[in-house]
Chain A
Amino acid sequence: MAYVPLADQDQEMEMHHPHSWVEKYVWSQDHKVIAIQYGGLAVLTGIVGLVLSLLFRLQLGFPESVDFVDPNFYYQAVTMHGMIMVVYFLTALFLGGFGNYMVPLMLGARDMVFPFLNMMSVWTFLISVIILMASFFVGGGPTGAGWTLYPPQTTMAGTPGHDAGIILMLVSLAVFVVAFTMGGLNYVVTILQYRCRGMTLMRMPLTIWGIFVATVLGLFAFPALLVACIMMMFDTLLGTSFFMPAVIESGSPLDYEGGSPILFQHLFWFFGHPEVYIVALPAFGLVSDVLSVHARKNIFGYRMMVWAIIAIGGLSFIVWAHHMYVSGMNPYFGFFFATTTLIIAVPTALKVYNWLLTLWEGDIRLNAPMYFAIGFIFTFIHGGLTGLFLGNVVIDLPLSDTYFVVAHFHLVMGVSPILVLFAAIYHWYPKLSGRMYNETMAKAHFWITFLGAYAIYLPMHYLGFLGVPRRYYALGSTDFIPASAQELNSSITIAALIVGTAQILFFINIIGSLKWGKKADPNPWGAASLEWQTPDTPPKHGNWGDELPTVYRWAYDYSVPGAHEDFIPQNTPESAAPAASNDQIDSDKDSTLADV
């Protein structure tokens, strides 16, 4: 059959082989190097976010114990922590980091379809991070408006960073959107057009499905953030009144008139809610693969998992106003958005059931990645259930802006995706580095992080029920908050400090194992998907040596009776597979080709 895979046609000619160290590691167009640059930068930024959270937690647990954490700094820290974690850490690490690393390897391609654009993406991301960090050093400091940046208070005197800080934040976000769009176009087109021979869409590992749908969401949701940023910049710098209403500042009226702050909220959350799934869907995908490999079972309900990812992606665009129940919008909107919000729980719950059923009667191997993956199921169920509370308008109203909300979204989109990140980093570390990590240290890291996360967020639900408001520098004295709430706050802070410090274990493990780790087997977990079948570990530039792989099956043939090991890699031809597997072909004759 005269067939040249598309992935072979152009790439052979276009592969740009680096000649110097700088070209190889700095101005690299290799997706694996770009993935590490993206991921490394996201992690560094995430560490800043983590340290900020510990500083404001110190203030909450032990008021005025740190000198420089005054009310202004507190608000700045809370704001920057939120924005950094959601956008610059999680989004960048999942899509820029894992998206870049996994997409070509799992699809059997040599690289992304537009390597130069890919390189531009990571450098543009660096610029956006530099702009963001610059706001710490300008007069007035970074913005302290809360990560949602609601006008009018964002740009008014009294809000820290209302002059230079907010402008830098808006510019940085706009630049980030450009960087993301360049990367995102790459992932989407690579997934659609550059799969290797035999890799049909429904043979892609769920990781790729998660990254694919999340990227599409990002491409269509980030524009809303861009639009909001541009209009707010006009309001701030050029004196327009898109969002700014007639308002009085320190006794004197400002030049604004008639703008609509609610319009900003709609635009922001039209981005903001899909953003939750931009972070969650890649996590769903990655955890599905980790669970399947370490449970030695095919993922339960593969097709439904794909459908659920697509359904969640679609629904995520029509739930945004559940963040705005208390904004004063039309109450009928509340009914509509509560309904769609509860509907999105259906495909999400379906995924949870499928993960549990994947574990059911599996030959579970409790390696560190599996610890984190199972831990994720716990935190995700807990965080997801409180989402059902908050999705209902009548329950949301009293809980709005309390610690219950903080507990909910941290469990569901903070802790859960981060547990998946750890699972995924440990799981793919042997492929990425060619070394094994230290298992004992990884498990210690898991227990401290997992139990610590509960010690932090479980008590917050109670604080929320008491009515303790979020975003307050100090509680002061009220009738409804008992003194014991402060003790709870102190214990939360202690737990946060322990968990935060324990992450050092992770970095020691990951960096130390590069040098002292045991040399890794090319496929230590016995995984069937393509990235584990590369000729070199870690994969070289071009990934596949002389010849691209051909895919003969899906990525989940585990515990196959009669198989040489207990799994069959995706690129094993039929002739080399055990009889049990060949039997299935006869029942589905038209699906096989003569050249197998």
Chain B
Amino acid sequence: MSLIKTVTEKPWERKGVIGGMEPEGTFDTEAERVALTFFLVIATVIFSLFMVSYYIRMELPDWEPLSEPAQLWFNTGLLVASSMFFQWARNIVSRGDSKNLYTSFFGAGVLALLFIVAQLVTWNHLQAGGFYLSSNPANAFYYLLTGLHALHLAGGLWVWSKSAIRLVSSGEPEDIRLSIELCSVYWHFLLLVWIVMFAVLSNT
């Protein structure tokens, strides 16, 4: 869709059913995909606003940088692996195949779940080390941002579990093709958010 072309049309001159003017919807794709795109933009806005707040708050004198535990590298590895498994599942269904679908699809979910658990373990370690939420704004932002990211992933897992039930009950990979595709996009998005967040947290 060319936005300029669209908004410079003269509707009062053009009568009839106009061909070539995309009467099939503005974007030639499924409604769910459009909805997901909008949702990703909204999530980006949320995370960006937190990041902006982070940078503004960092300037104030009481800020004591938190040195992120090395365990986060391991957690990152889990999330990367989860994303790769999802991509694998996506490739399988888009080929119309079903071999290894269970391994890849369930592997992706389990790895994501492990990531959330690992994040919680990291929280515990930080707490044990005396880095409490309210003791410093840097700590507060660490818990807030990682918590928010984990919540988004948990939301993804909820959709994943619904697809998993459908896959197991019907056994037809075609039924959940779109679902797997959209989930994988969401997973990659959350991986990207995590990488940006991790980079920001460890460098400040």
Q: Which A residues have a C-beta under 8 Å from some C-beta of B?
A: 3, 5-6, 113-114, 181, 185, 188-189, 192-203, 219-220, 223-224, 226-227, 230-231, 234, 238-242, 255, 257-260, 263, 266-267, 270, 298, 302-303, 306-307, 310, 550-554, 556, 574, 577, 581-582, 584-585, 587-588, 591-593, 595-596
Q: Is B14 within 8 A of A588, CB to CB? A: yes
Contact residue range for chain B? 35 or more
Point out the residues of chain B lying under 8 angstroms from A298, CB to CB: 12
Chain B residue at minimal CB-CB distance from A220: B45
B11 touches which of A193, A200, A259, A266 (Cβ 8 Å): A200
Contact A195 B50 (CB under 8 A): no
With beta carbons under 8 angstroms apart, the residue of A197, A202, A227 that contacts B53 is A227
Contact of B35 among A185, A267, A582 (CB under 8 A): A185
Instruction: Assess the B46–A226 pair: CB atoms within 8 A.
Output: yes
Contacting residues of chain B (112-155) with chain A, CB-CB under 8 angstroms: 133-134, 137, 140, 144, 148
Residues A219 and B38 in contact, CB atoms below 8 Å apart: yes
A-B contact pairs, 9 of them (CB 8 A): A181-B42, A193-B25, A194-B25, A198-B16, A220-B42, A230-B144, A234-B140, A238-B140, A266-B56
Q: Which of B2-10, B100-108, B183-191 contacts A (4 or more CB under 8 A)?
A: B2-10
Minimum CB–CB distance from B39 to chain A (whole Å) comes to 7
Could you mark each residue 38-50 of chain B with 1 if its beta carbon is under 8 Å from any beta carbon of chain A, else 0? 1101100110011
A263 CB contacts on chain B under 8 angstroms: 53, 56-57
Q: Which residues of A contact B56 (CB under 8 A)?
A: 260, 263, 266
User: Footprint of A on B, CB under 8 Å?
Assistant: 6-19, 21-27, 31, 34-35, 38-39, 41-42, 45-46, 49-50, 53, 56-57, 60-63, 133-134, 137, 140, 144, 148
Q: Given contact pairs A181-B39, A302-B12, A584-B15, enumerate 16 new A-B contacts (beta carbons under 8 Å).
A: A189-B31, A192-B34, A200-B9, A202-B9, A223-B45, A241-B140, A242-B140, A258-B62, A260-B57, A263-B56, A553-B11, A582-B15, A588-B15, A591-B16, A596-B16, A596-B17
| Contacting pair A240 B133 (CB below 8 A) | yes
Please give, as numbers and ranges, the residues of chain B lying within 8 Å of A238 by CB-CB distance.
Answer: 133-134, 140
Residue from A198, A223, A260, A584 within 8 A of B49 (CB atoms): A223
**Residues from chain B with Cβ under 8 Å of A114 in the complex:** 31, 35
Picked from B17, B24, B50, B134, the residue with its CB within 8 Å of the CB of A593 is B17
- Please, which residues of chain B bring their CB within 8 A of the CB of A224? 45, 49
Measured between beta carbons, the chain B residues less than 8 angstroms from A307 are: 7
Query: Which of B8, B9, B38, B61 sits near A189, CB closer than 8 Å?
Result: B38
Q: How far is the CA of A241 from the CA of B64 in the complex (A)?
A: 13
Contacts of B8 in A (CB 8 A): 303
Q: Which residues of A contact B34 (CB under 8 A)?
A: 188-189, 192-193
Complex: A551 Cα to B18 Cα, angstroms: 9
CA distance A310 to B27 in the complex (A): 19
Cβ contact within 8 Å between A591 and B13: yes
The complex places the Cα of A584 from the Cα of B11 at a distance, in Å, of 12
Chain B residue numbers with a CB within 8 Å of A270 are 49
* Among B18, B26, B57, residue most surrounded by chain A Cβ atoms (within 10 Å): B18
A5-B23, A219-B38, A258-B61 given; A554·B11 CB < 8 A: yes
